[in-house]
Amino acid sequence: MISNWGGNLDFGTDEILQPGSIAEAAEIIRSGKVRPIGTKHSFSKVVIGEGKLVGAAGLAFEPVIDEHNSTVTVAAATRFGDLAVFLEENGYALKNMGSLPHISIAGAAATGTHGSGDGNQILSSSLVAFSYLNASGDLVELRRSHKNFEACRLGLGAYGLWVSVTLAIVPSYQMRQDVYRNIPWQVFYENPETLTAAGYSVSLFTKWGNSTIDQAWVKTRVKDGLPPSEIAGISADVESMKELLPGVADNLTEQGGVEGAWLNRLPHFRLDANPSAGDEIQTEYFFRRDQIVGAIKAVQEIASEINPILLVSEIRTMAQDNAWLSPMLRGDSIALHFTWINDSEKVDRAVELIEKVTAEFDPIPHWGKVHHFEKEQLTKAHPRLNQARELFDSLDPEGVFNSEYLQSLGVRS
């Protein structure tokens, strides 16, 4: 049986269909229920359904750069890391990437995958257009100006199989990554921006219950100047660190302030290595920036209950975004992430506890990670969920892409 990358979900089948042409993909869609699948890096049941699993990796074509409009058009199933290598070879770059380059562009867009940076939106905000096979097996192109674009660019594979994407690109740039250790939580409590605005993209890694944040990773574009010489009197490491999680060595992009190309500094994990721990479950919640200190203090109170199954937590920021199902639709946000050991029962208990203690701070879960939110709560969290559901239902009236899980979220009827 095929399972997801983290190993916490069984897809209930030993087959993923990878059609080699649009015609073949259309034929599969016309023949019955399907669920689109990317590189299987999600931890929630977004991929799972009653239909056949269908990937778009067989629909690959050579990327095309449009210099005049500063865009690249590429197959939707392309991994971010492969596109990044192609762009760098041609003198271009993406504005932002997630922590790992191994995920597909379509799969990342479908769950609202984000990187970090006070001014950086979720990754699909770079989309200028995309094409997909609809429930009738017909190819449809949506451009930014289309009325359905913002509804469909974060769509959990609920209405079609993405085939190609056109993304905005920028000239290639150099970056550096600097790590500061043991920063007092008090510095964050007094003003989170002291840390989150310290670079172009900042990630804070920690466990809970201590007086300090274990590590701050500050990613700086060289053209923006130098990173802070000190944060709260603490200087950055002078050498690159070799591991983030115990026992997982040497899978990180280079740190220690060494300058390098954007694609080798923006993601935490190297494309040629296994990202993170590999046998794990992830959870993440988004908060408005002015509610994060309260939420963090609430999580500190349950440190002794979550630390034993926690590999590491990460805190990142994202800018406001207009995708209908984006957790950032309500404004600039900050995310609290948990990488757990792969023990679903224990993780479920921890997730329940976290959702209980942070409830008053209006968390919104990541669509691709483990959470316990259902339709009612999600409808409150996502003001356009009902509209999105009506649209997806109207685009796929026979329910070709529908699944029980999508229904439980309120994304399909």
Ligand X SMILES: Cc1cc2nc3c(=O)[nH]c(=O)nc-3n(C[C@H](O)[C@H](O)[C@H](O)COP(=O)(O)OP(=O)(O)OC[C@H]3O[C@@H](n4cnc5c(N)ncnc54)[C@H](O)[C@@H]3O)c2cc1C
Q: Contact residues for ligand X (CB under 6 A)?
A: 5-6, 35-42, 46-47, 56, 76-77, 98-100, 103-104, 106-108, 110-111, 113-114, 156-157, 161-162, 275-276, 282, 366, 368
Least distance from C-beta 149 to ligand X, angstroms? Answer: 15
CB nearer to ligand X: pick between 192 and 368:
368
Least distance from C-beta 370 to ligand X, angstroms? Answer: 11
What angle in degrees, to the nearest 10, is found between the helix axes of 344-358 and 292-301? 130
Contact 171, 269 (CB under 8 A): no
Question: Nearest residue by C-beta to ligand X?
Answer: 107
CB nearer to ligand X: pick between 42 and 358:
42
Least distance from C-beta 357 to ligand X, angstroms? Answer: 23
Least distance from C-beta 58 to ligand X, angstroms? Answer: 11
Least distance from C-beta 255 to ligand X, angstroms? Answer: 17
139 contacts: CB under 8 Å, gap ≥ 6: 22, 26, 131, 132, 133, 163
CB nearer to ligand X: pick between 91 and 278:
278
To which residue do tokens 């993209």 refer?
Answer: 201
Separation CA 223–CA 105 (nearest Å): 27
Least distance from C-beta 381 to ligand X, angstroms? Answer: 16
Cα Rg of the chain (Å, integer): 20
Separation CA 359–CA 18 (nearest Å): 41
Distances (CA, A) of 170 to 202, 280, 370: 20, 34, 34
Separation CA 383–CA 352 (nearest Å): 23
Complete edge-to-edge strand list for the sheet that includes strand 260-261? 260-261, 174-184, 212-221, 201-206, 310-318, 333-341, 280-288, 364-365
CB nearer to ligand X: pick between 71 and 339:
339
Distances (CA, A) of 128 to 150, 164, 166, 381: 11, 11, 5, 26
CB nearer to ligand X: pick between 185 and 405:
405
CB nearer to ligand X: pick between 187 and 281:
281
